[in-house]
Chain A
Amino acid sequence: MWNLLQIELFKISKRPRTYIAFAAIAAIVMIFQFAFKADGESYMNLMMQNIQDNFELDKSKAINGYFMCYIILNTLLIQVPILIALIAGDAISGEANMGTLRLLLTKPISRTQLLLVKFFASFIFTVVLLIWMAIIALFLSMAIFGVDDMLIFRAKGEESQILQITKDDILWRYFAAFGYAAIALTVIAALSILLSVFAENSIGPIVATVCIVIFFTIVSNLNMPIIDKNVKPYLFTSYLVGWKGFFYIGINDEGQPIKGSIENWGSIRKSLGILLAHIALFLGIAIAAFRKKDILS
């Protein structure tokens, strides 16, 4: 199994498209960093639109490395599924397309094993991609913008809130958030692999994954009560942004944030459970389908 995984990782590492993801992330992050370095205040002004008159905020302090990383993740984690799909969606279908799948499967390895290895390789790719993201979106931002307390602008149902987390209470939240994101993106990887089983070329599953994610995300964010209640809880995409839960700090009765706390652990645990269940489901169907599949490519 380990041998097989090594081979799979070796193949991924040798493909140019693998590095597209890393380059794309670096490019997006750096554009963000440049834009905020140049004119972060206008973003702050936008966020504080209607309370500008009432409060004074030292915006240069507020736009710090921690804040930057949050803004970047907020945007980027919507796009990263595409990059994951680029690799995972290719897992089986790419081999079928190249004609190597039939050669692989005449080797003494089981299909279940091969599929699991493909999945683990995609998982490792996802984790490495997130580590890369942490390096440039978090640590590089910290180096460029410095560190300070972090503001979270949050829409909570009908209300909006501004949360402030003190700077010594942030880093662990990021580690937790990246961990959560790894699980969330692994759902995408599992979905891509599932779709990949049914296709003979890699474009199909990649596009299909992206379409599903975009469609579900739009539905998840329609903000219509009827959908929020009846549809949203059943879409896995609703839980992709659950990493933010680690930044929703607990609030005491006086309205002050409680250091080291999280508002709703239960919901994060539940989201993680749902995501893990999706991984198991997608992978289970993928394995069952792959075992039965006649290899005609």
Chain B
Amino acid sequence: MNTILEIKHLSKKFKDLTAVDDLSFSVNSGDVYGFLGQNGAGKSTTIRMMLTLIEPTAGEINIFGMSLSKNRHEILSKIGAVIERPDLYKYLTAYENLKLFAKLSNINVTHKLLMDQLDMVGLADRSESKVKTYSQGMKQRLGIGIALVHNPDLIILDEPTNGLDPQGIADIRNLILKLSNEMGKTVIVSSHLLSEIELIANRMIIIHKGKKIVEGFVNELLDPSKTLVELETTDNIFATSVLKKSVYASMIVDVNEKIRLTINKHEISTLIQFMVESKIQIIEVKPRHSLEDYFLNLTKPE
């Protein structure tokens, strides 16, 4: 499986605020990758760094096997993005907006291409209307149309369902699935709703306060028979190295501040026994009910 996007130790500081803190993850070709976190977790900042809108304070971003900072043009010409609300030129028509951005994408722009694209997002009959007459859902669809017009390999959608009605949300969801299943595109989609990601993503990451909490396959992370366990030991580095060599290696989801594993409930006692035998001095073993509970807990208003 091809790695399309790889992020290593990415950080961004705004004056006193650390928006993204030593974040690492990767996205494979064909993934619908869910980027989950509550509002202000650092999702948008990370996505903007992937799109060169924000300069990272530290770390590295590689896309299509190239360094983003060195091959900006080449990489961006193969990415399509919608960042938050798709704000467009309100005084121009949908057709003019699409044409304008298509021209900026180094492709051969034809009338047919533009109309096909508008047709795909269901706006063909409103192509000559000024965007200021559009509903939020229509703008969103046009935004996606613009993101896709140059047939990009990687599609980045930042909170694409924000502000949409249920029908609009369903439309976007279907579109993402179509892009992935029928057209083989890689999609990164961010959301603050686990339910949203659960329905469309095959892999996901949860970030909180700029840090990674967990990363993995959605079906595994959300497996109801599994429990998330947080371990605290006197020497986490030693504990991690021991666990990584053991049968528990594939269960580790995160080793940053705390060691986190997803594990069957009945296996927890065996895990503790293994750690004791391995001379790991346990301070705390904290089982969570499920990843879902854990995330909901994170995003719960304080």
Contacts and interface: CB of A to CB of B under 8 A. Distances in A.
Interface of A: 3-4, 7, 10-11, 14-16, 98-100, 102-110, 292, 294-296
B104 A107 contact: yes
B48 interface: yes
A294 B55 contact: yes
A3 B79 contact: no
B86 A103 contact: yes
A100 B87 contact: yes
Nearest to A3: B103
9 contacts: A7-B104, A11-B100, A98-B90, A103-B143, A106-B76, A107-B76, A107-B104, A108-B72, A108-B74
Interface of B: 14, 48, 51-55, 72-74, 76-77, 79, 81, 83-92, 96, 100-101, 103-106, 143, 146
A105 B53 CA distance: 7
A34 to B, nearest CB: 33
Contact of B106 (A104, A105, A108, A292): A108
A16 to B, nearest CB: 7
Please give me the 7 A-B residue pairs with the lowest Cβ-Cβ distance, nearest first: A99-B87, A295-B53, A107-B104, A108-B77, A294-B54, A108-B76, A108-B73
A106 B89 contact: no
B79 A106 contact: yes
Contacts of B14: 294
A106 B53 CA distance: 7
Contacts of A100: 87-89
A105 B72 CA distance: 11
A15 B130 CA distance: 12
Nearest to B56: A294
Nearest to B77: A108
Contacts of A99: 84-88
B89 A98 contact: yes
B100 A106 contact: no
Contacts of A106: 51-53, 76, 79, 81, 83
Nearest to B81: A106
A19 to B, nearest CB: 12
B78 to A, nearest CB: 9
Contact of A295 (B54, B81, B101): B54
B98 to A, nearest CB: 12
Given A105-B51, A108-B74, 10 more contacts: A98-B87, A102-B48, A103-B83, A103-B87, A103-B101, A105-B53, A106-B53, A109-B73, A294-B14, A295-B53
Contacts of B91: 14-16
B146 A7 contact: no
A108 B88 CA distance: 18
Nearest to B73: A108
A85 B153 CA distance: 40
A11 B14 CA distance: 33
A16 B132 CA distance: 14
Nearest to A11: B89
